[in-house]
Structures are given as C-alpha cells and as structure tokens.
Amino acid sequence: MTSTTGLITAADTTALAPVSQYGRYADAACASVLQSWAWGAFKERHGWRVAREASDGFAVQVLLKRKFGVTIGYVPRGPAVDWSNNGSVSACLGALDALCKREGVALALIEPDAMLPAGFDSRRYGLSSSYLSVQPLRTIIVRCDRDDDALLAAMKQKTRYNVRLAAKRGVTVRQGSADDLPAFWSLLQTTATRDAFGVHTLAYYADLLRFFPPPDQGALLCAEYGGEIVAGAILLRGGPTAIYLAGASSDSHREHMPTYALQYAALQWARDAGCTRYDLWGIPPTDAPPDAAHGEQQNVRDGLWGVYRFKQGFGGEIVSYPGIFIRQYRPLIGRLALRAINRQRGVLG
C-alpha cells in the first residue's frame, strides 16, 4: 500500500524490499548498488519495469523501458559477474538472453562495473562496443575502512586544511531526515543552475531514502552553518561500497568550506556503515583540462573540472569503466533504436 501522497510510507519499506534469492546471489557476486534489489524496486517507482536473473557466480538486473516503439533493456553497472571467468560470463549472458527474449527486448545496453580483463574478446560473447555511456566513465574511490586520523592523512594537504578550517569556522554535519529534503532539493536546484545539470523531482529523492533507509543503507547528510543548511549529500550503500549519489551546496558561506566537512562526514558514515570503499561517483572522462583551465586559472568550474579537482583532494584511486556494450536481439529495429538513443542521450538517465 502507498500513502495518499503517492510516496511509499516507512512502514511499507520492508515489504517492498524482501530478502530475496536474487539479493543473496547479487551480494555473493559483489554487485553494484545499481544491481541491487532495492535499486530495481526504486526504479520501478519511476518509469521502468525490472527483470532479474541470478545463479551461482552472477546476478543481472535489467531495467526495461518502451522507447521509439521498441523495448530497450539497460543493465546499469552490471551484470555482477567475474568477467575473467568464461563459464560464469557464458552462464550470465545466457540468462540475460533468456530474460530479454521473454520480455521482448530489441537491444540490451550492458554497462560493466569494471574494466574488462586484458584480452577479453567481447565479440566472442556477441557484445558490440559503443560510444554510449549513462553512468560516469571514471570515478574516484577512497578507502574508508580506517580511523579519522588515517582518513585525514590520506587527503591532500589543502583538503585536510579545509576540513579542519570548516570545523574551526563552526560548520557542523548531521544526518538529515525527511523534513530536511525540501531544503536539500532547493540547494540542489541552486547547484544545478550553477553547474548546468538536471535534477529529479523531490519525490524521487524522498523515494531514494525509503528504499535505502537511514541510518546504514542510505543517508541524507546536512552541513550547517549558523543553523542554516548550506550543503547536503545523499549517500547509498551497496555491499562494501558507499556511493555519493547526489550533492548540493549553497552560493552562500562557501568560504567556510562546508563541502569539505560534508565529504569528511560522508567518509565517516561509509566506514561506520561497514563499507570499505567510498565512491565519489564521477569525474571527467580524461585528465585533459578545459581550455579555460590553464596557467593560473586552474580553479575554473568548466564542466566537471572544478569538481574533479575537489574530489582528487580526498586521496582516492581513479577507476575507469568501459562504457556500454550492445547486445542485439532484433538487429534491424535495434539499430534504428540505437540511432535514436545516440540522438537523445538523456533517454536512459
């Protein structure tokens, strides 16, 4: 049952996210949070159908959408499988094929959660490379299973200084509640205007925290200065990894470094939730700076450049992903749909 507002009530969460056989296989295969049962159930609330298959050695969750007159399957950050194990890969893709044929899928967009092994022959498995991507092609992952002193020591000197400066200036960070979501959403709109990206509805973020409930499956962290929320972040946990899914900050009080305090608190939350890795979720696809970021202008905000420099300061490792592979089931119609997707890149966002 849902509430009269159309949002899921806290009491409904357990029923909507059962401990499933799929979940056990996904955990065993170290699935990304985007391959979790909770993520699929969440996306079903927001315009997708979901189909899943799992067995020993793999788990695959496909988001299904009817676009351009055909059904498209999207496997975000998955499937969860050891790509170096030929037997597991063959079994996984066989299960994916059966699922897609059952659902009438014309083409599947497969977005692995790691670079494929050297020498991996994608053509052997009927996978065609593409120029598409939905999730970031690179990210920074910080080890978080260490004490506060070690977290700080791993940071670059300027970042560490700014974390401490925020504390001296009186910035505090706390776990927020549903009551804080409107303030976070307002900050998100401010940030989107400043940095030129789109945002989802308030209901979308409210649902996120219902399917990934605080305190240890998800969190809304709020950085405050003078009693005002000046920065916020939504974090999700998937197995040993916490991800920084969405963040926002005010145009005011930035000199007090609230975003630095926020990310330090996020690392602490990830550690205390039992994670070993904290994924900062997205940096530019290359290290090449924009034209405006040369010489003394390294701090410009062109594209993701400013965000990249900020995230680098927390001392993590850069991780790259291969982008999307295509698996065709209705080649002619699938090729036409693929052309349409190329023209409308946001269709799967």
Instruction: Report the candidate in 127, 189, 111, 129 with the shortest Cα–Cα distance to residue 348.
Output: 111
Which two structure tokens, joined as six digits, stand for 134? 């939905």
Q: Given a cut of 50, is residue 20 above it in pLDDT?
A: yes
Q: What is the DSSP letter of 283?
A: B
Instruction: Report the candidate in 144, 338, 166, 328 with the shortest Cα–Cα distance to residue 249.
Output: 166
How far apart CA 255 and CA 286 sit, in angstroms, is 29
How far apart CA 65 and CA 59 sit, in angstroms, is 20
Query: What pLDDT is stored for residue 36 in this prediction?
Result: 96
Instruction: Report the candidate in 2, 7, 5, 3 with the shortest Cα–Cα distance to residue 204.
Output: 7
Which two structure tokens, joined as six digits, stand for 120? 């991996």
| Domains located in the chain, CATH noted | 10-135+322-348 (3.40.630.30), 138-320 (3.40.630.30)
Query: What pLDDT is stored for residue 289 in this prediction?
Result: 72
* Lowest-confidence region among 19-33, 213-227, 234-248, 307-321: 19-33
239 or 288, higher pLDDT:
239
Instruction: Report the candidate in 200, 234, 233 with the shortest Cα–Cα distance to residue 217.
Output: 234
6 or 114, higher pLDDT:
114
Query: What pLDDT is stored for residue 333 in this prediction?
Result: 79
- For the residues 271-298, what does the mean pLDDT come to? 78
Query: What pLDDT is stored for residue 196 in this prediction?
Result: 75
- For the residues 250-276, what does the mean pLDDT come to? 97
pLDDT band with cut points at 50, 70 and 90 for residue 344: low
Q: What percent of the chain has pLDDT over 90?
A: 73
Average pLDDT, the chain: 88
Query: What pLDDT is stored for residue 11 in this prediction?
Result: 39
Instruction: Report the candidate in 270, 319, 275, 267 with the shortest Cα–Cα distance to residue 150.
Output: 267
pLDDT digits (tens, 9 = 90+) for 299-343: 444 456 678 999 999 999 999 999 999 999 987 777 787 777 776
Query: What pLDDT is stored for residue 319 in this prediction?
Result: 96
Which two structure tokens, joined as six digits, stand for 316? 């993590």
- For the residues 246-263, what does the mean pLDDT come to? 95
296 or 165, higher pLDDT:
165
276 or 133, higher pLDDT:
276
pLDDT digits (tens, 9 = 90+) for 136-148: 999 999 999 999 9
Q: Given a cut of 70, is residue 6 above it in pLDDT?
A: no
Instruction: Report the candidate in 130, 131, 127 with the shortest Cα–Cα distance to residue 329.
Output: 127
pLDDT digits (tens, 9 = 90+) for 66-119: 988 899 999 999 999 999 999 999 999 999 999 999 999 999 999 999 999 998
275 or 123, higher pLDDT:
275
295 or 4, higher pLDDT:
295
What is the pTM (predicted TM-score) of this model?
0.88
Distances (CA, A) of 316 to 140, 154, 234, 256: 6, 8, 19, 23
Query: What pLDDT is stored for residue 299 in this prediction?
Result: 46
